[in-house]
Amino acid sequence: MRQLNQLTASEREQQLRLQQMKRLPLLLLALMAVLYAFSLGRPDWWLWLHAFSEAAMVGALADWFAVTALFRHPLGIPIPHTAIIARRKDAIGDSMASFVANNFLQAEVLSARLKSRNLTELLTNWLQQPRHRQQLVSSILALGSWAMGMIGEQRVRKFVVSLLQRQSAQFDLAKGASKVLEFLTRSGRHQEIFTQALRFAIVALSENEERIRNRVQHESPWWMPGFVDDKVVNQLLRRIEALLFEMALDPRHELRQRFDLQLEKLILELAESEEYQRLGETIKQDFLDNAALQEYFLQLWSDLATSLKQAEADSEASIHKNLDQLIQAVTNELQTDKAMGELLNQWLNTAIVRVISENRDSVSALISDTVRSWDAATTAQRVELAIGRDLQFIRINGTLVGGLVGVILHAINVLAGFKAIS
């Protein structure tokens, strides 16, 4: 639990202002006491001042007791129903947590509040400022440097390697590859990629015809005439090019269907063949047992972490400028593309409402548990530091209002005396 002497600088400043503020009602009470004593036993109009000061002292003392009883026992006397905040801090914390959760973290409240704000516009306007972009870049680099540095720690590395070894024992590499290939080829989604690969092959073949001819001439026997080589190469290139065009234009081409059949066969064999499973286990174990390969990857990661750490400290590093330019480009595009900006705004609104509303109970529990973790005296002190200065005005007003009530009561007594005489 946090103790009384562990005040922050801002809390110590609040405490100083509170002590200064407490002097005003105390001085006012002292003034009323002097007036009461000075007017005691004096006739005529002094009685009005006497009534004022007498009632003012009663009001001042009553309000002092009420304000003090909120935080501690007045004069250290354990009077019932005093030190209310210290005694009921857990219930107060629960009530405060429930109030925040029910009035600020409800999905309807958040949604209504966010609809009145264009978060995308606020974000892009904020990122248009160079210093704001620099803050974001610095935060990204700091987070990346920290994360990569953590992986570079010896204890973390040992944990990761140990975790990979344990998890890999349950992982079938061949079946995993089968599932990946099945996902990539589901509903023929691989055919478009295959078509693009064929088009690339056609372009590559056309651009490298001369190189192919030279290679054939270099490898052919010395006695073979050059025109024969050219004729053979030309026919071969034309047939290959025609075949590639046919395959690219016809999704039902025989060779493409053969390719699909072979791919389906491979997927099935990877999932069921014991030979592939043994091969997968061998590859997996070779990797896990290869200390040199592991050290290579760890050293590569360490070098990246070091480079990122150095870039984080150097504001003139190219990565700072590149990230800044990327963020500015995205910001400018969002400001230009209103449709995308509106869509992003909807995403942000939905995400914020969902995350906060789904974690409403966790936030409420955090508030409640935090208050419970404070000791009673600290809780009372922190609340007093927050609202104590305003409560001193209650004491001042109580003194003045009490005095006015005393004057009114004295006036009623005077009027009643006049009526009795008459």
Mean pLDDT of all residues in 66-80: 87
Instruction: Give me the mean pLDDT over the 106-115 stretch.
Output: 81
Torsion angles phi and psi, residue 111, rounded to 5: -65, -45
- Please name the residue that has the structure tokens 């002094």: 46
Q: Is the C-alpha dihedral spanning 299, 300, 302, 303 positive or negative?
A: positive
pLDDT digits (tens, 9 = 90+) for 33-48: 999 998 887 777 788 8
Distance of alpha carbon 304 from alpha carbon 294, whole angstroms: 15
Percent with pLDDT over 90 in the chain: 14
The whole-angstrom separation of Cα 196 and Cα 168 is 35
pLDDT band for position 207 (50/70/90)?
confident
> Hey, what are 104's tokens?
């600020």
Q: What is the 3-state secondary structure (H, E, C) of 8-38?
A: CHHHHHHHHHHHHHHHHHHHHHHHHHHHHHH
pLDDT of residue 288: 73
- H-helix segments, 220-359: 226-249, 254-272, 274-289, 291-313, 318-336, 338-358
Nearest to 261 by CA among 185, 174, 198, 201: 185
- 389 contacts 18 by C-beta, under 8 angstroms: yes
* Length of the chain counted residue by residue: 422
In angstroms, the CA 236 to CA 166 distance is 53
**Among 16-30, 104-118, 131-145, the least confident range:** 104-118
Residue 381 burial by CB count (10 A; 0-12/13-18/19+): exposed, middle or buried?
buried
- Under the banding of pLDDT at 50, 70 and 90, the label for residue 104 is confident
Residue 229 in this model has a pLDDT that exceeds 60: no
- Mean pLDDT lowest for which of 56-65, 67-76, 103-112? 103-112
Rounded to 10 degrees, the C-alpha dihedral 206/212/214/219 comes to -170
Which pLDDT does position 118 carry in this prediction? Answer: 85
Of 50-59, 126-135, 185-194, which gets the smallest average pLDDT? 185-194
pLDDT at 227 over 70: no
Which single residue is written with the structure tokens 């007017």? 39
Instruction: Inform me whether the pLDDT recorded for 396 exceeds 80.
Output: yes
Would the pLDDT of 224 be above 60?
no
For residues 395 and 273, give the distance between their C-alpha atoms in angstroms, rounded to a whole number: 87
Q: Are 331 and 128 in contact (CB under 8 A)?
A: yes
CB neighbour class for 290 (10 Å; exposed up to 12, middle 13-18, buried from 19): exposed
Residue 75 above 50 pLDDT? yes
What is the token pair recorded at 91? 């219930």
Identify which has the larger pLDDT, 392 or 299. 392
pLDDT digits (tens, 9 = 90+) for 336-388: 898 998 899 889 888 888 888 888 888 888 888 888 888 888 788 888 888 88
84-96 pLDDT, tens digit per residue, is: 888 888 888 888 8
Where are the alpha helices (H) located in 104-225, listed in sequence order? 107-115, 119-127, 130-152, 154-168, 173-185, 190-207, 209-219
Does residue 1 surpass a pLDDT of 60?
Answer: no
CA distance 327 to 321: 10
**Residue 228: per-residue pLDDT:** 52
Report the alpha-carbon distance of residue 308 to residue 320 in Å, rounded: 11
- pLDDT tens per residue across span 236-285: 778 888 888 888 888 888 888 888 888 888 888 888 888 888 888 888 77
Amino acid letter at 75?
L
Those residues whose C-beta lies under 8 Å from the C-beta of residue 309, and which sit 6 or more positions away, are 145, 149
Q: Are 36 and 50 in contact (CB under 8 A)?
A: yes
Which pLDDT tens digit goes with each residue over 286-305?
A: 877 777 777 777 777 777 77
Six-digit token string for 350: 């939905």
Residue 2 near residue 89, CB atoms below 8 Å:
no
Mean residue pLDDT of the chain comes to: 82
> From CA 53, how far away is CA 31, in angstroms rounded?
8
The structure tokens listed for 217 are 């001439």
Q: What is the mean pLDDT of residues 55-81?
A: 90
Q: Does pLDDT of 5 surpass 60?
A: no
pLDDT band at 106 (very low <50, low <70, confident <90, very high): confident
Distance of alpha carbon 180 from alpha carbon 257, whole angstroms: 20
- What is residue 221's predicted lDDT score, i.e. its pLDDT? 55
DSSP code string of 173-201: HHHHHHHHHHHHHGGGTHHHHHHHHHHHH
The domain limits of the chain are 9-87+374-421, 173-289
